[in-house]
């Protein structure tokens, strides 16, 4: 990824996975971030892959190359890169335990990307006169799965790969945990490794090491990480350096992500376009089956991101954590936060909790509206609506229309969000498509307003 893509209104992300299960897991990370994501198999046809990239934010192509001969795996990877053409981010999704053709596919992706860039297919026409250098960024940690990287070595639940049952893997026995060695095996790739001590030292130390790797001529920057925060620190530095290079115009930087998923997602987030000018925000505190069905229907719309509230130690909505999660959603026209999405979320509530939940949802709503440009508000559940309006210091709601009985649209009267379009609906009201109908009304009202 190069900095010029950051101005694009919608991302074009290509993820080449070496197997279907891993590809789906990687795709789930992008989907959870609010990106419209699809997994396809064996897409090396230019027209079909291009059409998919036009229709979706992220396309995961299952190359099924993990256990192929390395030359064949490399050829498949190169053909997919060439077929995709201009993308904003190219990622090689590798196994969390580094099995398979990690080096061969990474090298093929880097070379194919370099060919595209040199031919002007990098989306950098405005700075085409400046040379572009394509590098790999390999941050292979997947902390939530017990995979971390320390001293340039990949650990599985705290153990070196060669000290686990992977040493006896029939198809891809692991004899080393050294990431740079695995990348270099059978390839011409050179690596520069950033140790965990450097990552812990902060952005300036990371920056110095990345620059050292670039100056040394390394093909791939490998970085240790124990947590997602460590990964984000690294990709933030990469993004900053890339922007600075674009400003000076001496040599542009273009990055190919090589990792199981978290690194690619973090790199995408560091470079992605900012959120659209405004969003529609939905707040649901209803636990009824009707509401759950409606939320499930909304979730099928690729432009609407439906998410659970984050829960604190007391089992109540965590305001700051939920607001942070909302702000991290990278690309969505509408975001809906809900206390209950399915039957597994149902639980017995005390009277105190029943009173506190609407207040917490109101605090979340107000805080999100402080940080994000909200063009319209949807709420379901009478207690929640009352709390949200109170939290915005509103006098009430000016009614414009009844969408269906007991679902009305209007504008907030008074307070900090005066004039904002709003749709409210009872938790037991409507059928599966009612919430979508309400959002259609809200979208029209928001567009008419502004």
pLDDT in tens, 60-113: 999 999 999 999 999 999 999 999 999 999 999 999 999 999 999 999 999 999
Q: Name every residue whose Cβ is closer than 8 Å to that of residue 402 and which is 6 or more positions away in sequence.
A: 408, 409
Q: Using pLDDT thresholds of 50, 70 and 90, give the confidence band for residue 125.
A: very low
Instruction: Give per-residue pLDDT as tens, 36-60.
Output: 889 998 665 666 888 889 888 899 9
Domain boundaries, the chain: 3-271, 279-449
pLDDT for position 381: 85
Strand order in the sheet with 58-62: 37-41, 58-62, 13-17, 89-93, 252-259, 132-138, 220-223, 191-194
Contact 272, 36 (CB under 8 A): no
* φ/ψ (deg, to 5) at 333: -75, -30
pTM exceeding the 0.75 threshold for the entire prediction: no
Residues 6+ apart with CB under 8 A from 252: 2, 3, 4, 124, 127, 130, 131, 132, 133, 242, 245, 246
Residue 359 corresponds to which tokens in the numbers above? 């207040």
58 contacts 35 by C-beta, under 8 angstroms: yes
Average pLDDT, the chain: 90
Site of tokens 């007391």: 314
Helices marked H in 7-45 — which ranges?
20-32
Residue 106 Cα distances to 224, 249, 258, 310, angstroms: 18, 27, 7, 36
- For the residues 391-407, what does the mean pLDDT come to? 93
Q: Rounded to an integer, what distance in angstroms lies between the CA atom of residue 1 and that of residue 253?
A: 8
pLDDT digits (tens, 9 = 90+) for 248-286: 887 899 999 999 999 999 999 998 755 455 899 999 998
CATH number among 3.40.50.10840, 3.90.800.10, 3.30.2130.10, 3.30.360.10, domain 3-271: 3.40.50.10840
Closest to 359 in 3D by CA, of 388, 335, 380: 388
Q: Nearest Cα to 127, choosing from 211, 9, 2, 256? A: 2
pLDDT at 6: 37
**pLDDT classification of 120: cutoffs 50, 70, 90:** confident
Q: How confident is the model at residue 298 (pLDDT cuts 50, 70, 90)?
A: very high
Cβ atoms of residues 68 and 76 within 8 Å = yes
Considering the chain, what percentage of its residues have pLDDT values greater than 70?
92
Report CA dihedral (392, 393, 399, 404) to the nearest 10 degrees.
40
The CA distance from 246 to 209, in Å, is: 19
CATH class of 279-449: alpha beta
Q: Contact at 8 Å (CB) between 335 and 279?
A: yes
Would you say residue 309 has pLDDT above 60? Answer: yes
Measured CA to CA, the distance from residue 32 to residue 293 in angstroms comes to: 20
Task: Give the model's pLDDT for residue 273.
Answer: 59
């Amino acid at each position: 990824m190069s900095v010029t893509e950051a101005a694009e209104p919608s991302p074009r992300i290509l993820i080449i996975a070496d197997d279907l299960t891993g590809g789906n897991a990687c795709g789930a990370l992008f989907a959870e971030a609010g990106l419209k994501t699809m997994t396809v198999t064996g897409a090396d046809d230019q027209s079909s892959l291009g059409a998919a990239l036009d229709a979706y934010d992220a396309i995961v192509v299952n190359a099924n190359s993990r256990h192929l001969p390395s030359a064949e795996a490399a050829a498949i990877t190169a053909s997919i890169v060439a077929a995709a053409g201009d993308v904003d981010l190219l990622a090689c999704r590798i196994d969390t335990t580094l099995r398979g053709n990690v080096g061969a596919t990474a090298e093929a992706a880097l070379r194919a990307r370099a060919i595209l860039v040199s031919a002007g297919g990098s989306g950098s026409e405005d700075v085409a006169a400046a040379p572009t250098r394509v590098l790999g960024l390999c941050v292979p940690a997947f902390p939530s799965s017990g995979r971390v990287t320390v001293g340039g070595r990949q650990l599985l639940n705290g153990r070196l790969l060669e000290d686990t049952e992977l040493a006896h893997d029939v198809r891809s026995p692991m004899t080393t945990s050294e990431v740079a060695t695995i990348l270099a095996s059978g390839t011409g790739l050179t690596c520069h490794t950033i140790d965990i001590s450097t990552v812990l030292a902060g952005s300036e130390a990371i920056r110095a090491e990345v620059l050292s790797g670039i100056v040394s001529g390394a093909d791939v920057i490998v970085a240790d990480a124990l947590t997602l925060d460590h990964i984000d620190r690294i990709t933030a530095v990469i993004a900053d350096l890339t922007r600075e290079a674009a400003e000076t115009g001496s040599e542009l930087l273009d990055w190919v992500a090589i990792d199981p998923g978290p690194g690619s997602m973090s790199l995408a987030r560091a470079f992605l376009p900012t959120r659209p000018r405004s969003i529609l925000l939905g707040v649901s505190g209803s636990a009824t089956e009707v509401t759950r069905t409606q939320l499930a229907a909304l979730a099928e719309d690729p432009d609407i991101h439906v998410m659970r509230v984050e829960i604190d130690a007391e089992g109540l909505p965590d305001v700051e954590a939920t607001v942070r999660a909302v702000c991290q959603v990278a690309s969505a026209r509408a975001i809906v936060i809900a206390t209950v999405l399915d039957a597994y979320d149902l639980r017995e509530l005390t009277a105190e909790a029943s009173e506190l939940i609407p207040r917490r949802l109101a605090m979340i709503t107000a805080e999100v509206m402080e940080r994000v440009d909200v063009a319209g508000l949807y709420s379901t559940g009478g207690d929640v609506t009352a709390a949200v309006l109170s939290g915005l210091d509103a006098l009430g709601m000016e009614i414009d229309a009844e969408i269906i009985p007991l679902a009305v649209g209007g504008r907030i009267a008074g307070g900090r969000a005066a004039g904002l379009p709003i749709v409210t609906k009872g938790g037991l009201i409507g059928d599966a498509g009612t919430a979508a109908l309400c959002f259609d009304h809200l979208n029209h009202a928001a567009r008419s307003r502004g």
